[in-house]
């Protein structure tokens, strides 16, 4: 393995054919995605956050539009939460947008340069170990444990073909061991290696029963339509649609009910809307002004 150090308990010889196969499949299945054409840490970070639980086809286009509106970390940091949430609509999980904003402000306050080291990255809002490893690999070609769903898919498919409920603690040493430790070979460096895993994993998800379901971390996503999460998202959209005008709970309940009933669901009463507003306000999605609420 080029430049790799084997983690304790990992059989290096067994991983040689695995790495060769993944690199071959990676070359064959390579996807020329827009965020792969940049080494800007901010743009790479944005792609990693947008791609969490979101299909590539939905991110392509939205990633470019975001960068047109907020081209730098400083530009994002100086924006309002309403502007950021407005641009994020349609990507789901609004918390990710606010975490991007909070992290950008922390980076801007510290001088405007995004850190490279893992510890400094994971100290920022919304950046976990996998996102930090993705930033390091794709922006800086540095090694790390990039254990995301497509990487997990490949390892489970190739190295755990019959196992179920496989914990990540078993996979982490394999991810660490197989990642090249330097960029001396452009055909097999951290960036190339993880692109290969991502592209092979995406292919496997289209062609075989999803191997990542055999991970102990796999959780079936709850139904969104009609859920508490959907009502939260609808309240945010309504507030954004009326930017500059404070809406009271009664007006929001009326508009929310119209949408819910139109979709064949139950009406939403005012106390429920107040609870949603209290939650959203506590998390920074909106603020109260007099008897009304603003995004």
Whole-angstrom Cα distance, residue 127 to residue 198? Answer: 19
pLDDT in tens, 94-118: 999 999 999 999 999 999 999 999 9
The helix, strand and coil proportions of the chain, stated in percent and rounded to the nearest 5, come to: 60, 5, 40
pLDDT of residue 188: 97
Closest CA to 54 of 104, 97, 24, 25: 97
pLDDT (0 to 100) of residue 11: 77
85: nearest Cα among 73, 74, 77, 96: 96
- CB 164 within 8 Å of CB 172: no
Using DSSP, state whether 90 is helix, strand or coil: coil
Q: Supply the pTM of this predicted model.
A: 0.88
Q: Kindly report the backbone phi and psi dihedral angles of residue 293, in degrees, each rounded to the nearest multiple of 5, phi listed first.
A: -135, 145
Give the integer Cα–Cα distance in Å for 193 and 19.
9
Banded model confidence at residue 22, pLDDT cuts 50, 70, 90 = very high
What are the chain's domains?
1-221 (1.10.340.30), 228-294 (1.10.10.10)
Q: What is the mean pLDDT of residues 213-229?
A: 76
Query: In this model, does residue 222 exceed pLDDT 70?
Result: no
Mean pLDDT score across all residues of the chain: 93
Residue 5: what pLDDT?
Answer: 38
The pLDDT score that the predictor gives to residue 278 is 95
What pLDDT was estimated at residue 162? 87
Residue showing tokens 């507030």: 239
For residues 55 and 31, the answer to whether their CB atoms sit within 8 Å is: no
CA distance 43 to 197: 21
Res. 1 pLDDT band, cuts 50 70 90: very low
Q: Do residues 86 and 240 touch, judged by C-beta distance below 8 A?
A: yes
Q: Which residues pair with 82 in a beta bridge?
A: none
């Amino acid at each position: 393995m080029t430049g790799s150090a084997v983690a304790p308990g990992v059989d290096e010889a067994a991983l040689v054919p695995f790495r060769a196969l993944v690199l071959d499949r990676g070359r064959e299945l390579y996807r020329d995605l827009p965020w792969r054409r940049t080494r800007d840490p901010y743009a790479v970070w944005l792609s990693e956050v947008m791609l969490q639980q979101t299909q590539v086809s939905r991110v392509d286009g939205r990633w470019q539009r975001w960068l047109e509106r907020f081209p730098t970390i400083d530009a994002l940091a100086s924006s309002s939460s309403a502007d950021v949430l407005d641009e994020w609509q349609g990507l789901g999980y609004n918390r990710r947008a606010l975490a991007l904003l909070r992290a950008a402000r922390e980076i801007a306050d510290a001088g405007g340069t995004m850190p490279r080291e893992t510890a400094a990255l994971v100290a920022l809002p919304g950046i976990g170990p996998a996102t930090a490893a993705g930033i390091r690999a794709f922006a800086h070609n540095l090694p790390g444990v990039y254990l995301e769903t497509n990487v997990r898919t490949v390892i489970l498919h190739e190295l755990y073909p019959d196992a179920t409920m496989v914990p990540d603690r078993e996979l982490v040493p394999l991810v660490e061991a197989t990642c090249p430790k330097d960029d001396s070979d452009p055909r097999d460096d951290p960036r190339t290696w993880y692109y290969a895993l991502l592209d092979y994993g995406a292919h496997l998800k289209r062609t075989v029963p999803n191997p990542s379901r055999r991970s102990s971390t796999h959780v079936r996503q709850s139904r969104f339509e009609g859920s508490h999460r959907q009502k939260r998202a609808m309240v945010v959209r309504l507030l954004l649609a009326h930017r500059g005008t404070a809406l009271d709970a009664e007006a929001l309940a009326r508009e929310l009910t119209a949408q819910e009933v139109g979709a064949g669901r139950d009406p939403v009463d005012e106390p429920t809307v107040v609870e949603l507003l209290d939650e959203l306000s506590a998390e920074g999605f909106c603020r109260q002004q007099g008897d009304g609420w603003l995004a």
